[in-house]
Amino acid sequence: MQNYARLVGIDVGKKRIGVAQTDLLKTFASPVGTFAPDEVISKLKAITSQAKVDKFVVGWPLNPAGEEGRATQMVQEFINKLNRTFPDITIVKVDERYTSNIAQDLMIEAGVPKKKRQQKGRVDRIAAAVILQKYLDSNS
C-alpha cells in the first residue's frame, strides 16, 4: 500500500528560511515560500496539519572543504527546535553546498528576469526545493 505523505525541505538562514515540499507521492519538490525565522514554525505547523509529513529534509551548511562551521551551529539549533515542536517527524540533514548557485542556474534556465533572480527570498525557497530534490534523487 502506498504511503501518501510529504517530505518538507528547509533551507535555514539567519534572515530567511526557505521551505519546499514534495507531492504526496514524493516524486518531485516544489518551493512553498520564504519565511522569517520567527514565523517558519507556524508555517510548518500549517503544512503538517494539511497532510502527513514523513520527514523534514534540512540543508546542512558544510564549508567548501566539507567541514562544519558556525553556520552548522545555527542550523543545529533550528533542528533542535524542530525536534521539540515535531517529535514524531524524522529530520534528515543534506549537504547544501552550492544549492544557491544551482537555484540561480535554474532560474536562468527558466527565463526568470535578472531583477527577480536577485530577490534573496526567491533564491532561498528554490534552494530548499533543490535540497529536497537532491534527497529524493539520492534515495530513489
| Domains, in order of start, for the chain | 6-138 (3.30.420.140)
- What's the DSSP call for residue 22? E
Q: What is the pLDDT of residue 140?
A: 67
- Supply 105's cell numbers: 542556474
Q: What is the pLDDT of residue 133?
A: 92
Distance CA 78, CA 73 (A): 9
Q: What is the pLDDT of residue 108?
A: 82
Q: What is the pLDDT of residue 44?
A: 97
Q: In Å, how far are 16, 32, 87 from 127, measured between CA atoms?
A: 12, 11, 25
Low-confidence ranges of the chain (pLDDT < 50): none
Burial (CB count within 10 angstroms: exposed 0-12, middle 13-18, buried 19+), residue 116:
exposed
Q: What is the pLDDT of residue 104?
A: 80
Q: Backbone dihedral region of 26: left (phi > 0), alpha (psi from -120 to 50 degrees) or beta?
A: left
